[in-house]
Chain A
Amino acid sequence: MITRNQASLVQLACNRKVTILLSFQFILCQGIMTSSRHTNSKRIEGLDKNVWVAFTSVAADPTIVNLGQGFPDIPPPAYVKEGLANAAAVDKLNQYTRGFGHPALVKALSQVYGKVYGQQIDPFKEILVTVGGYGSLFSAMQGLVEVGDEVIIIEPFFDCYVPMVRMAGAKPILIPLRVKTNIVSSADWVLDPAELASKFTSKTKAIIINTPNNPIGKIFTRDELQMIADLCIKHDTLCISDEVYEWLIYKGHQHIKIATLPGMWDRTITISSAGKTFSVTGWKLGWSIGPEHLIKHLQTVMQNTLYTCPTPLQEAVAQGLLRDYELMGQPDCYFSSLAVELEGKRDRMAAILQDVGMSPIIPEGGYFMCVDVTSLNQDLSHMGDDEPYDYKFVKWMIKEKKLAAIPVTAFCGDASKKQFEKYIRLCFIKKDSTLDAAEAILKNWNS
């Protein structure tokens, strides 16, 4: 809409060039006025796409056998659900609790992890309770990573690491796990030591490790962690250790906390998840454990982002932890019994895939299995060229075979896409009937 002033200016400008110029300026101004104010801030530029948003709505169709997103369709242990019902019945527990973590919960965590680490952990200064492992990652990133810093991320990586690093204004430096021929297990995927060392620079603020790893299921060995630790100490780098699958360790393997290696406690934030520990991903509670001089910065982020986590959920997790603390090391302890149950499912999943000629990577831990789909020889050229093969495969498989998985290139950077695009990720923390249904689909693949 032209204002009177602008219209008269245009009229006064007899010269055609001036008229055109003024009109152009006017159009430009209008464009600026209507578009600039309500656009996104720079920090989230390009961070709107997300593999989960793309795939979870697709898989919400109940006719689809969903081995995609990582959550159990088996129930959580009864005592955990009871704990929540009991907590909600207490008036006080429906109101705000301590911001950095409900006292009963941080004390229980201090007990459990004090035993695991073999050291005293201060419940109030060395622990922060967050909204899932996700919230801990975010708090660590926002609290410790500066604009212009570099953060090393090992591929394949849980997809949120890269956007979180970018939102903190820092640069993700990617290094892939590499494999020789004959990939049988996740242990075959290793870091090249020289390549890793070359990624550390004076700008490196942190390295993020994830053990057991999502999606591959690798459990980093003591030697591998020592190699990383040596570099962290040499370059005075922090370590953010995502250990949400810490209890899901299969026979013959041991989960080692990098924070327990010499010189590492002071520079490591270790992240865990109630959701993964107790099969309650919908509770969204997690925690960071580390030295006071690091945790205090995560606490600052917490008090300026969401302030406190839900009370009854924290109380219930506390009760669950105390119950399992008493049973630690015994078969009845959920931390062990879940791993035993999942190992059976892992082996079954692997057998199903092998029976149809595919080559799964047997995970040492966690609840995902990656599998190479090359042997299925699925021609997807009709789906165009603009996506990696695994994205096309998963979309096709959901539509044509009613089976959902997640493409593994969602977990790597552009440069590594060629290396990973023949793999898809399957979640096996599913009830037997779900695995039966998946088996039926795979057995009938070529019919």
Chain B
Amino acid sequence: MTVCLLIKLAVILVLIMSRQLHARRIEGVDKNIWVEFTQLAADYQVVNLGQGFPDFSPPSYIQEAFCKAVNGGCSMHQYTRAFGHPPLVTILAKFFSKVVGHDIDAFEDILVTVGAYQALFCTFQALVNEGDEVIIIEPFFDCYQPMVKMAGGKAVYVPLRPVSRGKALTSADWVLSSEELASKFNSRTKAIVINTPNNPLGKVYKREELQLIADLCIKHDVVCISDEVYEWLTYDGAKHVKIASLPGMWERTVTIGSGGKTFSATGWKVGWAIGAGHILKHLKTVHQNSVYHCATAAQEAVAVGFQREYEHFGTPESYFLQLPERLQHKREKLAACLESVGLQPVLPEGGYFMIADISSVKVDLNDPSTQGEPYDYRFVKWLIKEKGLATIPVSAFYSPEHSKDFENYIRFCFVKEDSTLSSAEAILRNWSNGK
């Protein structure tokens, strides 16, 4: 009788387990800092230096281009070519051939995606098999890790480290150890993901640093996934170098770009992957079996934008020169403010963001709802709730194994109107004075 019961229970258990509702591939990738923190920022009245989007408008010529597309013929509202609207891929090929120094085929070497995010997804799904290893340099844009996981891959982390604690004043002072990096490559390594300019740190990898990575990619026959969404945003004359332009790298690199970051229109969600046709064709297969087409009008507008930039490249009218110039000043303004209130900013060489060391600031984090969370998470939530200022905790950009070492940084987005930055400044000053 007991045996019967036990057998029945075992059968029920097996049935329950085998009828799990969700697919295993989404296990462990359900938490997301953006969902959590954008909700918080929305719930409280905040000055928002958290999520990375401009609070100023895109350049007027691109807004006009979008309106023109909307009011254009019927075809602007119907399906376009699945792998990318012909005017867009044509101008991207023309533009980037010049930048990369390689003839890019508009129809073979480019895939247009729903933001750079989807380009990343297509890349991982196209190339990573169960058990493949993917090297991720920390701190990393948080989506790389769950995307690798969802593709059944194993993330292998290698951190950028500040050359000497307390003296790492700019993102250039955060470097890779070449031995440590080399040790991460083995026969199971399928790809390495690099992000330059980097989110959240702002590091702009130098040619020598990219050469180090390139040498390892070639030696181990590894694909390089290069997330370059902030490619036009470099400061103090720092030069953005495309790893795909290094010898031997075009045939093994997928370079990812973003219309949203390029034209300050993050809500348009137009991105692209550029690379050798024999790799891009696999990304296309994923794309045609997942979303298939991207919105036509937005692609048309981005194409017009790039055409204009092609004509003005290197001149003062170029948005790609105007925007970093504008942002350089904002970067300085925020850094000065953070320093003046005892936070230690790491001056970014590029990108949208600045991280600051909060070690020297002592606050009483007595919010029971954040008990047990990492220090920077608790600090950021306290800052939102008590001071009305939204930022993002930097340990979210680290692997579980290393995040404990980086709980003393928070990330600020400075791509905001001066008035927003001034409001943030006021909050910080009041707080500092009140101490």
Which residues of A pack against B, CB within 8 Å? 33-34, 37-44, 47-48, 50, 52-53, 56, 69, 71-76, 81, 84-85, 88-89, 91-99, 131-132, 134-135, 138, 142-147, 160, 163-164, 167-168, 236, 279-285, 293-294, 296-297, 300-301, 303-313
Contact = CB atoms under 8 A, between A and B. Distances in A.
A72 B78 CA distance: 7
B297 to A, nearest CB: 7
Q: Which 5 A-B pairs have the closest CB atoms?
A: A311-B267, A282-B296, A306-B118, A40-B282, A95-B53
A74 B77 CA distance: 10
Given A282-B76, A310-B267, A160 B285 contact: no
A334 B230 CA distance: 42
Interface stretch (B21-29, B342-350, B381-389): B21-29
Contacts of B269: 306, 308-310
A300 B117 CA distance: 14
A284 to B, nearest CB: 5
Contacts of A41: 125-129, 151, 282
B127 A40 contact: yes
Contacts of B221: 33-34, 37
A40 B132 CA distance: 12
B70 A84 contact: yes
A80 to B, nearest CB: 8
Contacts of B285: 40, 44, 47-48
B268 A94 contact: yes
Contact of B293 (A73, A75, A132, A300): A132
Nearest to A162: B289
Interface residues of B, number: 81
A293 to B, nearest CB: 7
Contact of A143 (B26, B74, B267): B26
B114 A131 contact: yes
Between A48, A74, A145, the greatest number of chain B beta carbons within 10 A of the residue's beta carbon is seen for A48
Contacts of B267: 93-97, 310-312
A311 B126 CA distance: 27
A220 to B, nearest CB: 25
A130 to B, nearest CB: 8
Contacts of A285: 295
Given A88-B66, A94-B57, A38 B252 contact: yes
B223 A38 contact: yes
A43 B128 CA distance: 9
Contacts of B58: 94
A284 B150 contact: no
A144 B281 CA distance: 27
Nearest to B190: A37
20 contacts: A43-B129, A53-B82, A75-B77, A84-B297, A94-B58, A94-B266, A98-B38, A134-B291, A135-B290, A142-B26, A143-B22, A143-B23, A144-B23, A147-B23, A282-B79, A297-B26, A304-B146, A305-B118, A307-B143, A312-B268
B289 A138 contact: yes
Interface in B113-159: 113-115, 117-118, 121, 125-130, 143, 146-147, 150-151
B279 A38 contact: yes
B265 interface: yes
A76 B74 CA distance: 8
B290 A305 contact: yes
A33 B219 CA distance: 11
Nearest to A267: B21
B265 A94 contact: yes
A50 B288 contact: yes
B70 A81 contact: yes
Nearest to A149: B23
A81 B114 contact: no
Contact of A96 (B66, B266, B278, B297): B266
Given A85-B71, A89-B63, A146-B20, A282 B78 contact: yes
Given A72-B74, A135-B291, A88 B32 contact: no
Contacts of A284: 291, 293-295
Contacts of A296: 30
Contacts of A309: 114, 269
A142 B77 contact: no
A306 B279 CA distance: 20
Interface of B: 19-26, 29-30, 32, 34-35, 38, 51, 53-58, 63, 66-67, 70-71, 74-82, 113-115, 117-118, 121, 125-130, 143, 146-147, 150-151, 190, 221-223, 252, 264-269, 278-279, 281-282, 284-286, 288-298
Contact of B23 (A76, A97, A168, A279): A168
B78 A281 contact: yes
A137 to B, nearest CB: 9
A339 to B, nearest CB: 19
A308 B295 CA distance: 13
Contacts of B80: 282
A382 B222 CA distance: 47
A56 B82 CA distance: 10
B34 A307 contact: yes
A44 B286 contact: yes
Given A69-B79, A99-B34, A307-B143, 18 more contacts: A40-B126, A43-B129, A44-B285, A44-B289, A48-B284, A52-B82, A56-B81, A72-B74, A75-B74, A76-B77, A88-B67, A96-B267, A135-B290, A135-B291, A167-B289, A303-B29, A305-B117, A313-B295
A96 B265 CA distance: 8
Contacts of B127: 38, 40-41
Given A41-B129, A304-B146, A306-B121, A88 B21 contact: no
Contacts of B77: 75-76, 81, 279-283
B111 to A, nearest CB: 13
B276 to A, nearest CB: 8
B78 A304 contact: no
Between B19, B55, B146, B288, the greatest number of chain A beta carbons within 10 A of the residue's beta carbon is seen for B288
Contacts of A300: 22, 26, 29-30
A307 B38 CA distance: 13
A4 to B, nearest CB: 17
A15 B26 CA distance: 56
Nearest to B76: A282
Nearest to B86: A60
B191 to A, nearest CB: 9
Nearest to A73: B74
B113 to A, nearest CB: 8
Contacts of A34: 221
Contacts of A69: 79
A33 B291 CA distance: 33
B289 A96 contact: no
A132 B129 contact: no
A85 B80 CA distance: 19
B83 to A, nearest CB: 9
A28 to B, nearest CB: 15
B123 to A, nearest CB: 10
Nearest to A88: B66
A282 B72 CA distance: 13
A306 B287 CA distance: 11
B279 A95 contact: no
Nearest to A138: B290
Contact of B35 (A99, A143, A164): A99
B289 A164 contact: yes
B266 A95 contact: yes
Contacts of A84: 70, 297
Given A303-B35, A304-B147, A47 B24 contact: no
Contacts of A146: 20, 23-24
Contacts of B290: 134-135, 138, 164, 305
B64 to A, nearest CB: 10
A310 B298 contact: yes
Between A37, A42, A93, A297, the greatest number of chain B beta carbons within 10 A of the residue's beta carbon is seen for A37
